[in-house]
Copies of this chain bind each other. A is one copy, B any other.
Amino acid sequence: MKTTVIGLGLIGGSIALDLRKAGIATELVGVDLNGANAAKAVTLGLVDSIESEGTAITTSDLIILAIPVNALAQLLPSVLDSIKKKAVVIDTGSTKRMICRAIANHPNRGQFVASHPIAGTENSGPEAAFEGLFRGKTNIICEKEKSSKEALELAERIFTVLGMSTIFMEPEEHDKHVAYVSHLSHVSSFLLGQTVLDIERDEKNIFALAGSGFASTVRLAKSSPDMWAPIFEQNSEYLSQALLEYIMHLQKFQYFLMKRDGKELQRIMKDANRIREILNGIEYKQTKLVQEK
């Protein structure tokens, strides 16, 4: 089927690669506001050709939206206005409330499947795309009852082809959960980076002492501000709540640190150690999914 990917970055580009390989996208068209990125996507073989947004939207059977969430909330209504009768539109946004709200009463709501395939790296742009990015990861579909049976079936088939397991959730629940397990860790990483860069102005060569632990904790601080600022804005209440809880925990820790209360510090760290089982669980699940493929 004729497939259009709007937004040819890490996510859109990687989906394009997998959909072509699986034979789902027999004609693969790209759309990108950034002309240089669009050209690169063709050179890299992510898509066959570039079309104007208008042409691509009105002639495709499947449209994947992989653009920043602010652009997504703006563009989605007009996409649904002009698509073909049986076309299916799938988004990949990291927030779901604003997006679902934007098309809640649209007559073609049934042709849209609100999705969030949870995968990524700290890199962005068409060069960052690669085959298999989504393998073993989790996909969320929201408001599945508002999508038509046909649209939902195609979306589920696509995410299965990408190697993902899909779970269903309401937009509120989705946005709250990702605030904690995804958005908060990005914020903590960005600000850790900033704190250390800040002190470096006075303390030269501080990074000579940075090891792999620091690198791992601060990795997400490399992420794209253009992509993350709109996500944070759209999820500001839940993220704010998560951030305040994080700050509260840090302040409590700082209090025990000033008191040199080693016992209490140790108790907090032992509690946090439980994350080990959870991380092992995530790894186990991903390995299992990859092996099953």
Bound Cα distance A236, B247 (Å): 18
Contact A180 B199 (CB under 8 A): yes
Q: Is A290 an interface residue (CB 8 A)?
A: no
Contact B219 A236 (CB under 8 A): no
Bound Cα distance A249, B189 (Å): 11
Q: Which of B119, B222, B228, B257 meets A236, CB within 8 Å?
A: B257
Residues of B with C-beta under 8 A to A216: 216-217, 219-220
Residues of B with C-beta under 8 A to A228: 265, 269
Selecting from A7-15, A26-34, A51-59, A203-211, the interface stretch reads A203-211
User: For chain A, what secondary structure do more than half of its interface residues adopt (helix, strand, loop), or is it mixed?
Assistant: helix
Q: Which of B215, B220, B273 meets A213, CB within 8 Å?
A: B220
CB closest residue in chain B, given A255? B240
Contact A195 B279 (CB under 8 A): no
Bound Cα distance A228, B28 (Å): 53
Residues of B with C-beta under 8 A to A232: 257, 262, 265
Asked whether A276 and B182 contact (CB < 8 A) given A257-B240, A269-B228, the answer is no
Asked whether A274 and B197 contact (CB < 8 A) given A214-B182, A282-B215, the answer is yes
Contact A222 B276 (CB under 8 A): yes
Contact A191 B273 (CB under 8 A): no
Contact B182 A282 (CB under 8 A): no
Q: Is A242 an interface residue (CB 8 A)?
A: yes
Bound Cα distance A219, B279 (Å): 8
Choose among A173, A250, A262 the residue with the greatest number of B CB atoms under 10 Å from its CB: A250
Contact B203 A272 (CB under 8 A): no
Contact A236 B211 (CB under 8 A): no
Contact A265 B191 (CB under 8 A): no
A182-B211, A222-B276, A240-B257 known; 6 other A-B pairs, CB under 8 Å? Answer: A177-B206, A177-B209, A185-B218, A199-B245, A216-B220, A236-B260
What are 17 A-B contacts defined by CB distance under 8 Å? Answer: A137-B211, A174-B209, A180-B196, A180-B199, A182-B209, A191-B249, A194-B271, A217-B220, A221-B272, A225-B269, A228-B265, A232-B265, A233-B260, A236-B257, A243-B253, A247-B247, A247-B251
